[in-house]
Amino acid sequence: MSNTNQLYIPTFEDVKAAHQRIAPYIHRTPVLTSSYFDSLCGAELFFKCENFQKAGAFKVRGACNAVFGLSDEKAAKGVATHSSGNHALSLSYAAGRRGIKATVVMPRTAPEAKKAAVRGYGGEVLECEPSTTAREEMLEQLVARTGADFVHPYNDHRVIAGQGTCSLELYQEIEALDAVVAPIGGGGMISGTCLTLSNVSPRTAIYAAEPKNADDVYRSFHAGEIIEDDSPQTVADGLKVGLRPRTWHFVSKYVSDVLLATEAEIIDAMYLTWQRMKIVIEPSSAVPLATILKNKSLFEGKRVGVILTGGNVDL
């Protein structure tokens, strides 16, 4: 698959450059607190609200960094990806802002609502048979035919650097965080968080929060190598994908621990957040709070950043 700098690991300089590059196209999202959750957890929690982000999720940071970092010549050929989730919406949004074409390869069996959402942000949907092979073949043909730039949802240095801007904003706003907890699927957000915090605040522990039903990162972390899940089933549908070399680099090097939550714990944490904080978050975003609630002693008395990654949930 065509992807420039396949082995390049992004640096903190890339994060700072990304932040400048994407600033006009993203929201600087607020950090909210909740006296209810503080008292429930015995900790001070700081919620970085990427559910309020453009296109409804943090993914727009990485997508904008990739899209706006292209030369005019390269940009004219458009961008492409495979995703049926937030990355597809974000890439479509970013391409729309630059005035270029975004093509998203999606299985023909994907829900019509997801295809419509991509089209709503100006992206074009290209349907493939529902298999990994078919998806990769179609994307490869598309790139060969059009010269479109492939923007992987997370195994892309531009995307990781973009996601790193989220914890950079959190660090700029909230002092002396003892820990940050973020959900993990493919590892784009966690990698960006590791990249930024290992530079600006190495004393801050980084926890990856994962659904127990999709615990490939937990198993990889303890095995010391990437282990893949076999079609995991979880309500946190953004977290079903697996690690790739660039994200494994950061996870294996900087993550303090991987914490698991059951489906019931994730759903409870999601509704509790809706009810007490009056904000809409998607299931993936509830995994960190669910893990904090079941590991209270780990966070007691600490200042903890919590990344609420997105708010795109079917109501």
Q: Count interface residues toward its own copies (CB under 8 A).
A: 15
Residue reference for tokens 């727009």: 60
Nearest CB to its own copies, comparing residues 153 and 311: 311
- Closest approach, Cβ 56 to its own copies, in A, equals 7
- Closest approach, Cβ 276 to its own copies, in A, equals 9
Among 7, 133, 278, 301, the residue binding its own copies under the rule CB under 8 A is 278
The whole-angstrom separation of Cα 37 and Cα 21 is 35
- Closest approach, Cβ 52 to its own copies, in A, equals 6
Among 31, 126, 279, 293, the residue binding its own copies under the rule CB under 8 A is 279
Instruction: With beta carbons less than 8 A apart as the criterion, state whether 250 and 280 touch.
Output: no
Instruction: With beta carbons less than 8 A apart as the criterion, state whether 60 and 90 touch.
Output: yes
Nearest CB to its own copies, comparing residues 29 and 81: 29
281 lies in the binding site for its own copies (CB under 8 A): yes
56 lies in the binding site for its own copies (CB under 8 A): yes
Map the footprint of its own copies across residues 26-45, applying CB under 8 A: 30, 32
Among 280, 286, 287, 304, the residue binding its own copies under the rule CB under 8 A is 280
274 lies in the binding site for its own copies (CB under 8 A): yes
- Closest approach, Cβ 265 to its own copies, in A, equals 17
Nearest CB to its own copies, comparing residues 71 and 275: 275
Among 47, 52, 154, 207, the residue binding its own copies under the rule CB under 8 A is 52
Q: Of the ranges 71-79, 85-93, 144-152, 268-276, which one interacts with its own copies (CB under 8 A)?
A: 268-276
- Closest approach, Cβ 32 to its own copies, in A, equals 8
51 lies in the binding site for its own copies (CB under 8 A): yes
What is the maximum alpha-carbon separation in the chain?
A: 57
Q: DSSP secondary-structure letter at 8? A: P
* Per-position DSSP letters for 222-251, written without gaps between them: HHTS----SS---S-GGG-S---HHHHHHH
Structure-token pair, residue 152: 């992987």
- What dihedral angle (degrees, nearest 10) is formed by the CA atoms of 47, 257, 225, 229? -60
Structure-token pair, residue 201: 């605040």
Structure-token pair, residue 237: 């549908």
The whole-angstrom separation of Cα 280 and Cα 271 is 9
DSSP strand pairing (179-183 vs 31-32): unpaired
Task: Give the SS3 label for residue 132.
Answer: helix
- Closest approach, Cβ 253 to its own copies, in A, equals 33
Q: DSSP secondary-structure letter at 148? A: P
Q: Which residues bind its own copies (CB under 8 A)?
A: 30, 32, 51-52, 56, 271, 274-275, 277-281, 311, 315
